[in-house]
Structures are given as C-alpha cells and as structure tokens.
Structure 1
Amino acid sequence: MLPSVLIHSMRDGDLGLADSASAGSVSRQQLEARTVYRPGELLEAAPGVLVTQHSGEGKANQFFLRGFNLDHGTDLRTAIDDMPVNQRSHAHGQGWSDLNFLIPELAARLDYKKGPYSAREGDFASAGSASITYANRLARGIASVAAGHDGYRRAMTAASPEAFGGNLLYALELLHKDGPFTRPEDYRKANAVLRYSRGYANNGFSIAAMAYRGRWNASDQVPQRAVDAGTIGRFDTIDPSDAGEAQRYSVSGTWRRTASDSASKVNAFVIRNRTDLYSNFTYFLNDPVNGDQFAQPDRRVTSGLNATHSWHLHGDARATDITAGIQLQNDNIFNGLYNTRERKRLSVTREDHIVESSAAMFIEAGTRWNAMLRTVAGVRTDHYRFDVSSDRSDNSGTARARLASPSLSVALTPAANTELYFNMGAGFHSNDARGTTAAVDRSPGLVKSRGIEAGLRTEPVKGLQTSLAVYRLAFDSELAYLGDAGATEAGLPSVRHGVELSNYYKPVKWLSLDLDLAYAHARSRGAAAGEDFISGAVEGVGQLGVTVDRRGAWSGSANLRYAGPRPLLEDNSVRSGGSSTLNARIGYRINSRVRLELEGFNLLDRRDAAISYFYASRLNGESEARDDVHFHPLEPRNFRVAAIVQW
C-alpha cells in the first residue's frame, strides 16, 4: 500500500547546497506529515522511490527506482544512523534491506541521492541512496495508540529526558497486523531504542542500542490462473505453512568535533541480524509429492567503522572543503538453503560460512569558485575480500576485488533562484560472495556502474520549487535472484535513460501541493534482438499530493500515486498492468497535548497488484508446469485511527 502524502525537500535551502537536481534532504516536520502503511515507505519521501511488498509484512520490502526492480535492496543503499541496512551475500538475495525496525516518530532527517555521483557512497548506491538519522532529543515526549482493519494494533511511546549531563532517549513499539489474507499474517513486532547523547549535532557524542524482533505468516504471490478459475481468492495462499522471522540487535556510537577550519566524525557499530524464511513460489513444480517449499536461514554479525575529517580552506576569491574518509566493514555470515515441507527440513541444497570484508578510502573536494560556480570532485577506492567455506569443497575458496570510482559534480547559478547541474561518476555493486568462489560460472566480486546526469532546480514563482533531471546509467552486469540456488547471479550489462520532474508548491502557509513524475527506459546490452527488455523495470511513476497543515484544529492530506506498467519477460510479450492508489489522512487537535488521526488507504478500493512476476509453476493436481503471472494484491480499502498524546 502507498503513503498518503508526498512531501520532499524542494525548498529554498537546497539552492546553493545540493550537488545535483536529484539529491536533497527531507526535514523532520515533513516526515511527520507523511502517512505510511509500512515503515519502509518512509523512503518514498525521496521522489521517484517506490516501496511495496510481495510477502508477509515482516519481510524486507520490494523497492523500485529509476527503472530498476531493486528486489529487496540491490542498488539502493540504505542506512540508519550511519549503520548499513543492506546485508551482503544474504540467503534471500544480495543487498537485503529490512527496514521493519524503523520507528518513524524518531526520524529527524532523510538524506537522499540518486546516481553514482558522490565519493562518499559505495556499495549498492548506483541507483540511489537513502540515509535516515534518528533524533538525539525529542522536543516533546509522545505516546500513541492505534487500531484499524485486519487486526491492526500499534502502541508506541518515546521521550528524551535529561540524564547524566546529557539526554537519554528511549522508544518502545509493539505492533500486530493480520492483513486481509484468508490465513492471517499474524505479524507481531517488538521494537526498542535506547540512546544516550551529550553535546550538540556538530560537537558531541551518542551511544545507542536497538532491538527488533518480528514473526509472520507469509502471504506470497498467487497464480493468476487459480484466481481466474475461482480455485482460490485474491487473498488466499497456496502453501499456508510459508512464514518468516527476523531479529536485529545493534550497538553503535558516534563522535563529532567541529572547529572553525575543520570537522571530524567517527561512527562505529556492531549489528547482529537473524533471518528465517520459508517460501514456496512454484508449489509442486520440482517435487510433486512434498512440494517446493524451501528454507533460507541467515545468521550474521556485521561490524564497521566510518571516519571522516574535513578541512575548510578559505581564500579571498574562493572557498574549498576537502574531506577524506575511511569505511571499514566485516560480515561474519552463516546461511543456507534447505528443502522443507511445512517448515520441516527434508534435504540440504547448500550450507555456507562467509566472511566478507571491505575497506574503502575516499577524498572529496568541494570548491565554491565564485558566486556562480561550485564543483565537487572526488574519488574512492574499494577493496573486498570474500572467504567462503561451503559444504561442497569445490565451492569453497577466497577471492579478492578492488575498484576505483571517480566522480564530478558542477553547479552553475545563473540567477539567484535557479541552479544548473552536471554530474558524472562511477559506482558499483558487490556480487554475492558465493558467486565469486563458485566451482562454475564464477562472478566478479565488484561490478562497475557509470552514470551521467544534467538537471536544474528553480523557483519560477514565489512558493513554487521545481527540479528536473535527465540521466543515463549503465551497469557492466545486472543482478538476478535465483530462488532455487538461494543466491544472486551476474547477468547481462544494462543501460537506462530517464527523466524526472519534481514540483512542490506552497501558495499559502497552511497549504502545499506536490507533483512528481518520472520515466525510465531500461534495456539489456548484448541480448538477442527483441529480447533486451529488463523484467520488472517500471517505466513511469507519478504522484500528486495535497497537504493542509494545522488549519485551526484540523490538518490533513491526500495522495494519488501511479506506478506504470512494466515488462515481465525479456521479449516484452507479457506485461504487468499499472496501479494507482488514493490514500488520505485527517487529524483533529483536541488541545495542545492530544490529537486524533484517521488514515485511509486505497480509498478507491482498487484491485491492482502490488507486484507481479511471470514464471512457471505447478499447482497440486496439475499434470504439468504452466507459465503464468503470479501477483501479490494491494490491500483493499482500510482505515486506522490513532490517539496521540504529547508532553
């Protein structure tokens, strides 16, 4: 389901600061105005990003951006408080990005970039990156209780009292949701944050601990033929024993120091993730007796360090900021793939112990040459080591990879209310470690991307901010997920061209309007004639939003979002339909401390698909496999009501 309001950072503050037309920041106030069906949809505050789901609510979301079907996070780098969310060499796919531990009320800022134009960004950031920063302090304590259709229940409280010479922020969230499915998802989530901070954003430190646990019954995609025949309904499931569980525990610390001519920042973290997934996408295709359910357990401890130091050099005619940084990360991973029946193990496909280590260094120089011209030039180098110990000795081994990625951004200010941008750079994504040491068809460890972009940001009339970006992004190879192997493989090279238009208009203090449009043309390179379409590449995206902010005691918003059709096969012979959704929110403030909110999702009750795939499957009783569309439905019209108290 889709969020009910689209508000982003097209505002005066981006002029003179942003390095491209497709980069920006979203403030805490703007994030608070959003209505989200699931936590990951907070990323849709970045124009052009689509977030959906094809399984149980606890599973990592499905992401789309710039003509990419990003699966569960590939080529979209996500981070919270400088901790990476993407999980490398995950059992269910490269770049697995599970944002269900996110508590929206704690989000102080969302920074987003698109394209490989920054030396600061690394793995998975070629299509884009989104970084959420939690608040160290809350202006007021908050407690919220919400209920809605389909067994939705949520309770959350957070505050940041002064303690031990600083601030002690705490938050606790409990959630339950069944969804509209015949077999309830029974998603149960417990989520907690504890953070101590002292000082200020530019001079101080913080130490934080986070804990999350979720369990759910999977509501995977269903075959169109069974729905059309009336054998099952849109919200039924084929294998009712599909399920999942996820846990995430982390400890992190951040230290900052800022002087008149320099700034330093150090961030360190340790994250323990655990995922258990039971899925059955093909039903009885491979095993007519026991069915095709498989388990994908993943256990890992991720540790890392990020450090930067900046020098501010000021002359009579120009000013330059030079930033150097290092990024270290180590993943100690145990994962596997097993054939199961009703979550009971039948056989082992593979088991692996992976140690994946990386070290990156970058330097970036931003110079304001005069009142009209700014440039940012940078380069980063990445070094990876993949060590795989497999249950099959011929798949075990060690591999190494390294890559240099230069970038350049130019901003020209021909008028006080307009900036022109030109960006170019190289990026990359890492491949699954198991592919780098495979006995056959080995994959390179790192795959280069190359991007170029031109754009503008302007305020043609007072209160209206507009940005336009035209881009090209090429990859040396695409990533494709292999369900039966529990890994991803490197596919054909690809190239994408696209254009994005974003508008934010605030004619009066209490009213804002949004219109965002994006189109992408995605093709494989080296494919046979007529077979160069990229499966799942969304071609067109649009959002129209209206927000009323505190019109007396009332506030509200409405958003119409459209996701266009996309090819489901490389020859474009099968395509998914587009989808559109209207959502809305209305709030009433009883007094300075208490307000009520009513949220409505899919108000037009559209029977669209959240996501569609085309592949072969066999249902119980069918004599042979059949190629078919398999889809996960949008949830029908539903409502949630919440009471929020602040102190």
Structure 2
Amino acid sequence: MTLQNPLDFRFRRTALAAALLGIGTVALPAAAQEQTLNAISVETSRTSQLGIADSANAGVVTQQQLEARTVYRPGEMLEAVPGLIVSQHSGEGKANQFYLRGFNLDHGTDLRTTVDGMLVNQRSHAHGQGWTDLNFMIPELASRLEYRKGPYYAAEGDFAAAGAASVVYANRLDAGIASIGIGQNGYRRTLLADSPALGNGNLLYALELFHNDGPFTRGDDYRKINGVLRYGQGNEANGYNVTAMAYRGRWNATDQIPKRAVDAGELGRFDSIDPSDGGVAHRYSLSGAWHRSDAAGSTNINAYVIHNKLDLYSNFTYFLDDPVNGDQFNQADRRTTLGLNASRTIPTPFFGRESETTLGLQLQNDNIFNGLYNTAARERLSTTRQDHVVETSAGLYIENSTKWADKFRTVAGLREDFYRFDVNGDNRANAGRASDSIASPKLSLIFGPWAKTEYYFNVGSGFHSNDARGATITVDPKDPSTPAERVAPLVRSKAVEVGARTEIIPGLQSALSLYRLDFDSELLFVGDAGSTEASRPSRRYGIEFNNYFKPTRWLTIDADLAFARARFRDDDASGRRIPGAVEGVASIAMAVDHVGPWFGALQLRYFGPRPLTEDNSVRSKGTSTLNGRIGYRISPTMRVELEGYNLANRRDSAIDYYYASRLATEPAGSATPDVHFHPIESRSFRVTLTANF
C-alpha cells in the first residue's frame, strides 16, 4: 500500500507503539491507520514488520507475548529475542550471561540493553566490560521489547554489534496487580502495582519483594527489593513521564566448580568450594522522557541519572595463587552515570519521494570508583589496584529513510562517537588520559513486499569500547615490574547481512537471514581475574531462521533456529577457535490461551556444544531445558498459575569454562587444567496467585 505523505513512516511507528501500550490515540493519515490496524488485527499476535522493519532481524515483542513466557529470572525475558540465550554462572544477584550470534557475550558485551532509554551496560566495570545487571527489572511493567541485531542502525552505539534490546515500561496499567508466589528452593515473591489517575495523567507505582535459594547446597539466599514510581501524561507521540527506580539485592554465590572434583565424588553438582562467595548491589535512578509530534516532525528526549554500587566476591581458582588464604577476590564498583538521548525527525521530500531524516545526539558520563582486592571470607587482605575513572562520550548520528519506489526503500545513516578516558589510581604508572573517536556508516536496502514477502540487504560498522584502565595501563597491577600492553579504546566491528521476511502463509511470520560479522579485537573471559581482556581479531558467519505461527486465536507457536561459525582471523599456534563461542541455538515454544478459563505454555530451549580452547581439543556439551506453565482464571480478575522449570530434570551446564585451578587437597604448587561448570537448576515448581483491581 502506498503511503500518503512523508510522515507516514513516523506516524505508523508511533501509532503502533501507542496502540500496544494502550496509552492514547494518535491522529493518523488514513493509509497509516489501515496499515496499523492490519498489523494488530489478531488479538495477542506478533505485530507485522512488513514495511516497518529495516532488516530480517528486527522486531517488537508485545506485552501479551512477554506474559506468555516462563522465565526463571528477570533477565530471561530477553530470550524473547530470537536466537538469544540467557543463563547464570554464579549467584542470582550477579549479572546474567548472554549468548547471541556466535558470541559468549559474558555479562553483556556487544549486546546493548536499555530500559526506558537508560543504558544498562556499564562501561569500565570492575568485573567485566559492558556489565548488564537486569535484576532491577519488573517484567509485569514491560509494555514491549524491541530488538535489532547487527550494527546497521545509527541510533545504536556502543555494545550493539551483535544486537540491541530495548525494554519499554508502560505509563499506565490496564488494571492494578497484586500477586504472591511461592515455590521450591526458598522461592518467595510479592508484587503490588497500579497506575491510578492523577490530574491529567497517571501515577504508576510498583513494589516487588523477592527471595530465592536455588538448588544449591548453600542456598543463594538472594533477597531483593524493587520499587518504581512514575508519573506520565499523554502517549508516546505527545506526552512525558518522570520515573524513579530503586533496587537493592544481596546473595550468596555457588560459582563454577571443577569437573574433576564432581567426577571423583568430592563435590556434588550443587556444592561450592568457597561458601563465602556472593555479593551486594544496589541501583537507584531518576529519568524523564518528553515526546512531541506534529506535521513539522517529531522530537524525542530522555535524560537520566543512575547510581550503581556492587561488591562482588568470587573465587574461580580456589587455592592456586594463595595456598593458605585461598584465591577469593573482591571487585568493587561504585558509579554515577548521567545520560541524555535526543532526536528530531523531520520530513525531507526528495524529488517528490517520501523521505524523512533523523538527527540524534547521545551523551553519557560515568564517574566510577572501582577496585580489585584479595580477600578471604569477604575480608580484604591486600589491594591489587584501586582507581577513579571518568569516562565521557558523545555520539552524533544522522539517518535518512527514503521510499524511492513502491517496492524499494533505503535507510542510510552515519554515526560519529567521541570518547575521553581519565584514569587516576593507587599506581601512577597506570594513570593517565586517553581519547578516541570512530565513524560508523550504515546502509539498508529494502525490497518489496511482493506476495507479502520483503527482502533486505544490510551493511554497516559499529564498535565496542574497551575498559578505560586498559587504555592507560603500562605495568601489570599484580607485578609492577612487568610491562603491560595497552588496548585500543574503541574497537571496530563490520557486518554484512542478507535476509527475507514473509507472511505469505496465513498466520505464519517467517524470517531468514545470513550474516558475516568481523571484529578488530575479540573480548575474552579471563578465569583468574573474572573479567574480560582484548584478544585477537575475529570473524563470524551465521544463519538464522525465525518463525511465529498463530493458526487460531487460542494457539501460538514460535520456532527459532540459529547457527554460527566463529573463528579468529589471524594465525596462531594455539588455534583459531574462539573459546565459549556459541554455535547452534534453538527454541521451540507453544502458548495456549482462550480455552475457557485455562491457559498455558511449553518451551524447549537448546544451545549446543562450544569450543573451550582455541585448538578445539576441549568442548562443552549441549544444554537443553524444558519449561512450562499452566494457569486457571478463577474469575475475570483473579488467576492462579503453576510454573515448572527444567521439567526433564536434565543435568546440563549453564556455562562451561576451561582453565587451571587447584583444590585444597591437591599438591601445593600444582595447577590442573579442567572444565569448570555451573549447573542448570534442578526441576522445580512455583505457584503464583494474581488478582487485578
């Protein structure tokens, strides 16, 4: 269908978002109204992306779809992104582990994650670059999840090379929520949320209390409290909101354990070696967003301030370095982050062609105090390093969307990022200043649709930043007599992708894509430090096949398959495999609703074997989990749900590493290379009673 004016692109997206949120109406051109209504015509169906998405791997997951998922932890809500796996290798309060497009993304590197426009990835973090802790997120408040994969989008900057996920909170709830959940392994959860009218808007509030032990011999004893308070008026086209969030958590951690000790019967699968591992974290934020749209264009602005604090205690090598006290270390991170995102979209007719141009500005400043300390039972013994880091960045971008013909449009963008690092610490040899900039061009060609099928060609470059301390380092913090090599502050990625999306079969949405993604430097996990370091240049080839099928009003089926081939691009005697790089990923889910008072879902999730060494001589096994839920609506305002996790009770790993460690019972001075793993949780069940008011 031909759009009536250059603003239809923008109006269609804005109206669709408003319709999904249920927060207001937008005055639409007639053609855009029709296309929007077609996109959401089937209740709870996935919104059509034909004529909207710029690649085969961009999409929107609605609130109803998110509610249908069975998730063990809040971060797993991101598994609604096709091909993304979320796991945990430590205590529940720690940031999750992410796998996507052939990456073990550690705790968030190269997966840009935002909640209400606030960047969750933490730069130059004490534990790992791009640390993404989503434990502050309350799934019931999410109105939708938007995702885009690959470095093809001008609005996505640092950490977005593999993909970007954006969680958007609602301004208003359809009804108040009061829920209480109990389950095995010490699970307890209470949630109270509502959004009563206040003046010309709504005051949304939410309070969550949570506890969980997990199946571990020494329970996680994870305790958290979450709070949200938001006032909003209008909608996403014309409106504003101001939001305060607060989160506090503390936990014990059963970190990965050596396979040799389990095989010998010295440890059980859920035992720990250092029972004092764990952590304490908090996050407080204040944010605001303002939106305006009219015939002259649209403006979007959001600003935020976040205060994060983490004390993390880990022991990955046990008694390798210190046979007396053990190898536990404390990584402390305290920071205040200021951010601003602003964009202006205006119609730019080009020789009568429908066209719009967006100008954007993104500013961020992190004031960071972090350190690395040797500890025993959480008592500090010595200081390895202690730093004050100020990291400042500015990103400018321009992006143009033009419809050249009825079946051909383009999206072309250019992004320029500027970074400045200022590092001061206890060792002046590693202090200093550094700066860097990088330009990232993007281009997408979209053909069709023909017979409800659209074709895409995408090419672009992106980047991830490295830890500021690596940009100024000169000597090894553990041994100041040993020189240390500096890393590039910004590392370029380049990608190319071809794909197709079709809805030719009624009720079925399918997308197929093939991509290549290059990095100038890979980030790899370092076992004894518990962090990442810059490594060799890499290349990934991959294929993804995603399907969403809604044959009836009561049945929905998702089937997503992905495979990636990851290799280092240079020759090295150690080999060319990238340790931890995920190869095969699959997810098959079925959700049932509107069957009288009953509803439910079942999901099989799989990620395959991975190389653990560069020469591929040691590999992990595959991991499969089967989760499900069944619910009953007692009344129009009350329901009860039973959720089950790892229903097959498989004894798989959530993650595997290969490195050297020493147990207390092993000879002094010895170092034994071994697979170290963290098990997936055993079969468990939770019951939740929810009342709406």
Return the TM-score normalized by structure 2.
0.91
Does 1:374 find its partner at 2:418? no
Q: Would you say 1:271 and 2:271 are equivalent positions?
A: no
| CA separation of 1:12 and 1:39: change in aligned 2, threshold 3 A | closer
For residues 30-82 of structure 1, the C-alpha deviation after alignment (integer angstroms, 9 at most, x for no partner) is 11111110000000000000000000000000000000000000000000000
Aligned to 1:185: 220
Residue deviations 1:128-149, cap 9 Å, x none?
0000000000011111100001
Q: Which residue of 2 aligns with 1:504?
A: 548
Q: CA deviation at 1:110?
A: 0.5
1:581 is displaced (CA, Å) by: 1.0
Q: Which has the higher strand share?
A: 1
Render the CA deviation track for 1:595-637: whole Å, top value 9, x for unaligned.
0000011100000011110110000020111111110001111
**Structure 2 counterpart of 1:618:** 662
CA, structure 1 residues 568+398, in 2 after alignment: closer, same or farther (shift >3 Å)?
same
Determine the structure 1 residue equivalent to 2:579. 535
1:355 and 2:390 matched: yes
Which residue does the alignment assign to 2:503? 459
Q: Report if the CA contact (8 A) 1:513-1:544 is conserved.
A: yes
SS in 1 for 2:438: strand
Over 4 Å off, 4+ runs: 9-12, 314-317, 483-487
* 1:10–1:466 contact (8 Å) kept in structure 2: no
1:401 aligns with 2:428: no
Within the candidate set 488, 499, 513, 2:557 is matched to 513
Matching residue within 158, 176, 193 for 2:193: 158
Displacement, 1:414? 4.6
| Residue aligning to 1:594 | 638
- The alignment partner of 1:567 has SS state of coil
Name the stretch that deviates more: 316-325 or 186-195: 316-325
Matching residue within 275, 280, 283 for 1:240: 275
Matched, 1:476 2:511: no
Give the 3-state SS of the residue equivalent to 1:202 in structure 2.
Answer: coil
| Shift in Å, 1:485 | 5.0
| Equivalent position amino acid for 1:334 in 2 | F
- Residues 85 and 98 in structure 1, CA contact (< 8 A), matched pair in contact too: yes
Match of 2:469 among 422, 428, 434: 434
3-state SS in 1 of match to 2:564: strand
Residue 623 of structure 2 corresponds to residue 579 of structure 1: yes
Q: CA deviation at 1:313?
A: 3.4
Aligned to 2:180, which of 96, 120, 145?
145
Q: Match for 2:346: what amino acid?
A: W
Q: Which among 336, 347, 370 is matched to residue 335 of structure 1?
A: 370
Q: Which residue of 1 aligns with 2:57?
A: 22
Where do 1:201-280 residues align within 5 Å?
A: 201-280=236-315
* Contact 1:317 1:369 (8 Å CA) reproduced: no
Note if contact 2:46-2:62 (Cα within 8 Å) is conserved in structure 1: no
1:290 paired residue number:
325
* Structure 2 CA distance for partners of 1:340 and 1:387, relative to 1, 3 Å: same
* Equivalent position of 2:610 in the other structure: 566
How far the C-alpha of 1:437 sits from its partner, in A, is 0.3
* Distance of aligned partners of 1:153 and 1:11 in 2 relative to their CA distance in 1, 3 Å threshold: closer
- Aligned residue for 2:72, secondary structure, equals coil
From the superposition, tell whether residues 481 and 391 of structure 1 become closer, same or farther in structure 2 (CA, over 3 Å): farther
CA separation in 1, counterparts of 2:197 and 2:415? 40
* 3-state secondary structure, aligned to 1:225: helix
CA distance in 2, matches of 1:143, 1:282: 44
Aligned to 1:417: 452
Q: How many residues in Structure 1 have an aligned counterpart in Structure 2?
A: 639
How much does 1:370 deviate? 1.9
Q: In structure 2, what is the Cα distance between the partners aligned to 1:376 and 1:25?
A: 19
TM-superposed deviation, 1:527? 3.1
Matches within 5 A, 1:10-159: 11=46, 13-159=48-194
- The C-alpha deviation readout for 1:457-490, integer Å capped at 9, x for no partner, is 0023111111001000000001123455565321
The 2-side partners of 1:472 and 1:259 are apart by 40
SS in 1 for 2:78: helix
1:603 aligns with 2:647: yes
Instruction: Specify whether residues 485 and 391 from structure 1 end up closer, same or farther in structure 2 by C-alpha distance, changes over 3 A only.
Output: farther
Deviation at 1:11, TM superposition (A): 4.4
User: CA offsets, 1:182-240, max 9 Å, x none?
Assistant: 00110001000000011222111100000000000011011111111111100000000
Counterparts in 2 of 1:483 and 1:370: CA distance versus 1, 3 Å: same
1:486 and 1:89 map into 2 onto residues whose CA distance is 14
Q: Which amino acid aligns with 1:459?
A: E
SS at match of 1:481: strand
For 1:5, the equivalent position in structure 2 comes to: none
1:340-359 per-residue CA deviation (whole Å, 9 max, x = no partner) reads 00010111000000000000
- The two structures have a TM-score, normalised by structure 1, of 0.97
Amino acid in the other structure paired with 1:266: I
Q: Verify the 8 A CA contact 2:160 2:463 in the aligned structure 1.
A: yes
> Are 2:398 and 2:414, in contact at CA under 8 Å, matched by a contact in 1?
yes
Task: Name the counterpart of 1:4.
Answer: none
Partner of 2:503, secondary structure, is strand
Check 1:401–1:487 CA distance in 2 against 1; reply closer, same or farther (3 A cut).
Answer: farther
Q: What is the distance in 1 between the residues matched to 2:174 and 2:687?
A: 24
Partner SS state of residue 316, structure 2 = coil
Q: Distance in 2 between matches of 1:401 and 1:304?
A: 19
C-alpha distance in structure 2 between counterparts of 1:292 and 1:159, whole Å? 47
Deviation at 1:102, TM superposition (A): 0.4
Does the aligned pair in 2 maintain the 1:156–1:171 contact within 8 Å?
yes
Answer with 35-44 or 521-530: which moved more.
521-530
- Does 2:674 match 1:632? no
Deviation (angstroms), 1:292: 0.2
List runs of 5+ in structure 2 lacking aligned partners: 1-43, 475-483
Q: Is the 8 A contact 2:280 2:312 kept in 1?
A: yes
Is residue 385–residue 426 contact of structure 2 (8 Å, CA) maintained in 1? yes
Q: 1:487 to 1:446 in 2, by over 3 A?
A: same
Q: Which residue of 2 aligns with 1:388?
A: 423
SS in 2 for 1:566: coil
* Residue of structure 2 equivalent to 1:6: none
Distance 1:586 1:316, change over 3 A: farther
Provide structure 1 residue ranges, at least 5 long, that are not aligned to the other structure: 1-8
What is the rounded CA distance, in whole Å, between the counterparts of 1:413 and 1:188 in structure 2?
51
Q: Is the 8 A contact 1:566 1:576 kept in 2?
A: yes
Aligned to 2:569: 525
Identity %: 62
1:245 deviation in Å?
A: 0.8
Measured after TM superposition, the shift of residue 261 of structure 1 is 2.8
Letter in 2 for 1:398: R
Q: Deviations over 1:496-526 (max 9, x none)?
A: 0000001111111111111110000000111
Alpha-carbon distance, 1:545 to partner: 1.1
Q: Distance in 2 between matches of 1:299 and 1:600?
A: 37
